[in-house]
């Protein structure tokens, strides 16, 4: 398989104490076959396909050097599911921190781990623009990934981001994320179901 690089936010901050209460929506499982759903072949980085409802459509798409694809609900257009690669590799220290974190069993991240992953987290590490509610590693349909949940401070949109090690080096990070107004509960349920349905290459 060709490597991915060649193929081309108000709530209480996260703390060790509140991890038990903040279980990610992705933990509930499994694919959800439904007559109103179709299989959308994404073919983006490590993602082979996801399952989307018929009332979701493809939106903005950008090519190299920073590939990006966005899907949104036609009924709730502000709720978006996005696939993104930054177009560059991380530093050796950042890559090592990411690899070390993913090499451990699924777990909630400590504050020191979160700090060590600043380069991986990118804008999500900026406390002036993003409130992080939860950060943990999790096996998602057979692949261990880093998942961060929180909200943007500017528009208060809720967000969940999945960080994927694209080629095993820890340096090529693919992001899969959704963002949504708090009021779009129905669309949030749809996008979470899509994430649970991911098939990897």
Q: Does a structural domain hold residue 108?
A: yes
Which residue in the block uniquely carries the two structure tokens 């409802």?
53
The domain that holds 140 is classified in CATH as 3.40.1000.10
- Asked if residue 7 has pLDDT above 80, the reply is no
Q: Is residue 13 part of a domain?
A: no
SS3 (DSSP) at 89: coil
The predicted-structure confidence for 58-72, as pLDDT tens digits, reads as follows 999 998 788 999 999
List beta partners, residue 84.
68, 175
Tell me how many domains the chain contains.
1
Asked if the structure places residue 90 within a domain, the reply is yes
Q: How many CB atoms lie within 10 A of CB 35?
A: 6
The pTM (predicted TM-score) of the whole model is 0.81
pLDDT of 82-118, one tens digit each? 999 998 999 999 999 999 999 999 999 999 999 999 9
Give the model's confidence band at 23: pLDDT under 50 very low, under 70 low, under 90 confident, else very high.
very low
- 1 falls within a domain: no
Contacts 24+ apart (CB under 8 A), 132-135: 132/13, 132/14, 133/11, 133/12, 133/13, 133/14, 133/22, 134/14, 134/19, 134/22, 134/24, 134/108, 135/14, 135/108, 135/109
The domain of 58 spans: 25-200
pLDDT tens digits along 139-190:
999 999 999 999 999 999 999 999 999 999 999 999 999 999 999 989 999 9
């Amino acid at each position: 398989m060709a490597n991915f690089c060649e193929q081309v936010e108000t709530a209480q901050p996260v703390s060790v104490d509140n991890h038990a209460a903040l279980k990610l929506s992705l933990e509930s499982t499994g694919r959800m076959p439904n007559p109103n759903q179709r299989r959308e072949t994404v073919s983006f980085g490590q993602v082979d396909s996801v399952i989307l409802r018929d009332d979701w459509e493809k939106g903005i798409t950008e090519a190299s050097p920073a590939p990006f694809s966005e899907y949104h609900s036609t009924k709730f257009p502000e709720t978006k599911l996005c696939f993104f690669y930054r177009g560059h590799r991380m530093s050796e220290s950042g890559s090592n921190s990411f690899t070390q974190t993913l090499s451990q069993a699924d777990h909630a991240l400590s504050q020191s781990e979160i700090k060590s992953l600043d380069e991986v987290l990118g804008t999500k590490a900026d406390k002036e623009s993003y409130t992080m509610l939860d950060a943990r590693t999790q096996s998602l349909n057979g692949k261990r990934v880093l998942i961060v949940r929180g909200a943007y401070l500017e528009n208060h949109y809720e967000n969940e981001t999945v960080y994927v090690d694209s080629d095993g080096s820890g340096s090529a990070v693919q992001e899969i994320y959704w963002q949504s107004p708090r009021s779009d509960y129905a669309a949030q349920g749809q996008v979470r179901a899509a994430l649970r349905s991911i098939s990897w290459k």
